[in-house]
Structure 1
């Protein structure tokens, strides 16, 4: 049974390569505590721990995938990106697969990005990268062209990133669909047919715990009522 934690509670999380996600803080020389109320979660090998709550306020955490919007440039060195957190994030112009000083991405204000948080600290602005930390390949990160972005609760986004969650495979069985899920409460969907994009968005709204919280059977029945 999942543990419910409150702000300031001590958390017994141990692993040789322990990584802390949102809602957890390691005090200098002290215990590991929760910083918000919610459900204590961890990944399959118990190396990454976080507190899950049904919130729309995103607090950046290292290694998390996010969907951002370019809101400005840092001269010729990089970009300022809105990821829905307390502060805009910085993205170096060389933080892309194969990028060099002569070959940099030409992003404009308003461009959508699928990126990874490479650095996050409470006293610093977060930093982003558009490649996988281990392979140094894009692995799906980079500019998102076309499509539509929907805002969801953070809990919904975490559920959609679970390989066992039903929604995205179910939608993919109904019509061709590209999707990217950011842990900052944003989901990007793209399809050749506008009606397919609309159907996907409506389904995501209905599985959101803040909405109707539909299960797989109910979503499948709802899709059968649509002209897709």
Structure 2
């Protein structure tokens, strides 16, 4: 076993040297790829060790298989209805369940209009290796906010989990740059599924989706050129 530091390439079994979950009153959050055992934090998947302020640690790795984590927002597709429960494909090893009561204002008399094939933006209420994932479409106050059934006119596509973490980083300029050229609606799931609807045409939606996918290997300082190129291509099409 090796002791590792931030930005090191890590392997399962390595130990983080500079962080321990019990640092007095400091709350340390362990993200994907990390596991606590006693007074030690072990790496449980290969990748690069990262830290986000104030004390959030995780392993950044290129992967497409999603492991559900409680509290994360995900995008999924309704695959079947079984009684009062909907089954939703979120790209994990098993499908998530979604009760009709998991929507704002839902009751036996006021059931949500959810059909097989609908795209759902929800929050994981239950996520454990010993239990089936469970979704809700409300926040802690019982309000739906941006959660719920997404517009069927949008486009759903998949990407790597590392790209999701990159574009959701507050320091990533991609969405602000795209907003200067396009009007769009967006739902990004931590499970590597993104729903988007841009502009009045399908071509614009596809162009913005391609810009998001291209951002995975584009440095932040080159993103303005990427967005400008997408805008020029759309201008020629119009």
TM-score (norm 1): 0.87
* 1:99-114 equivalences in 2 (<5 Å): 99-114=106-121
- In structure 1, distance between residues paired with 2:110 and 2:29: 34
Who wins on radius of gyration, i.e. which is larger?
2
The structure carrying a bigger helix percent of its residues is 2
The CA deviation at 1:13 is 4.0
* Inter-CA distance 82–137: structure 2 relative to 1 (3 Å threshold): same
Report what 2:3 is aligned to.
Answer: none
Report Cα offsets for 1:120-151 as digits up to 9, x if no partner: 11122111111223x33212111111200121
* SS of residue matched to 2:108: coil
- In structure 1, distance between residues paired with 2:133 and 2:40: 25
1:31 and 2:31 are equivalent in the alignment: no
- In structure 2, distance between residues paired with 1:75 and 1:20: 37
| Structure 1 unpaired stretches of 5+ | none
Q: Is residue 20–residue 39 contact of structure 2 (8 Å, CA) maintained in 1?
A: no
**Matched residue count:** 222
1:73 and 2:81 are equivalent in the alignment: yes
* Inter-CA distance 20–139: structure 2 relative to 1 (3 Å threshold): farther
Report what 1:5 is aligned to.
Answer: 10
- What is the aligned counterpart of 1:187 among 157, 182, 194? 194
- In structure 2, distance between residues paired with 1:25 and 1:56: 20
- In structure 2, distance between residues paired with 1:107 and 1:17: 39
Report what 2:148 is aligned to.
Answer: 142
Report what 2:173 is aligned to.
Answer: 166
- What is the aligned counterpart of 1:51 among 55, 59, 68? 59
The CA deviation at 1:21 is 2.8
- In structure 1, distance between residues paired with 2:125 and 2:91: 16
- What is the aligned counterpart of 2:105 among 98, 110, 113? 98
Report Cα offsets for 1:196-218 as digits up to 9, x if no partner: 10210121221123xx6683133
Report what 2:137 is aligned to.
Answer: 130
Q: Is residue 208–residue 230 contact of structure 2 (8 Å, CA) maintained in 1?
A: no
* Inter-CA distance 156–7: structure 2 relative to 1 (3 Å threshold): same
The CA deviation at 1:175 is 1.6
Q: Is residue 13–residue 49 contact of structure 1 (8 Å, CA) maintained in 2?
A: no
TM-score (norm 2): 0.84
Report Cα offsets for 1:55-88 as digits up to 9, x if no partner: 1111111111110011112312x21110001111
The farther-off stretch of 164-173 and 60-69 is 164-173
1:89 and 2:99 are equivalent in the alignment: no
- In structure 2, distance between residues paired with 1:217 and 1:127: 39
The CA deviation at 1:186 is 1.1
* 1:172-211 equivalences in 2 (<5 Å): 172-191=179-198, 192-209=200-217
